[in-house]
Amino acid sequence: PGKSGFFVRNHYYKKLFKGNLLNCRIQRGFIAECPRNIYFGDNVYIGLSCKIFASNRSKIIIGDNFTCNSNVMINSRGVGEIKIGKNVLIGPNCVLRSNNHNFKIFKKPINKQGMSDGKICLEDDVWIGSNVVILPNVIIGKGSIVAAGAVVTANVRSFSIVGGVPAKEIGTRN
């Protein structure tokens, strides 16, 4: 805990992850898989108990001035990709998942059908509220806001405000 913990974690993470990691603060309880495929920009804050999962065939790119609150999961296992722009805020308990389970074969258990891969892109200056789920193959446009509790299943236009399940446009930023 404290300043000494941030110093030790930052020094350790600079050896694991790609990117400069200048002025990065990563809280306790952070878990990462396949760190060589995770890129951090500068001025990144990762809250308590966050998880970032990449794989040998996927990548996660996190831009400068990124902040995510506690219990956020960013998951790009498989062949997926998650790209997060600059100046992005993610509230607590959010899930970004670039892939999903296949389920169309009724005579085969879901856990034996494999995964479908996809991409997620959060453009610059995006705010994701608490408890949001973002599913595969979604682009959230520049300057957008996703309201707390939303489930995003489709692209979000730049400078729009979306909310609900599934998320729909409920306003714009003027």
**Catalytic site positions:** 101
Kindly tell me the burial class for residue 40, based on how many C-beta atoms sit within 10 Å of its own C-beta (0-12, 13-18, 19 or more): buried
Q: Do the Cβ atoms of 135 and 97 come closer than 8 Å?
A: yes
Q: Do the Cβ atoms of 126 and 89 come closer than 8 Å?
A: yes
Provide the 10 A C-beta neighbour count for residue 8: 10
Residue 163 β-bridge partners:
168
Place of tokens 């994701």: 128
Phi-psi region of 15 (alpha: psi -120 to 50; beta: other; left: phi over 0): alpha
Q: Do the Cβ atoms of 25 and 14 come closer than 8 Å?
A: no
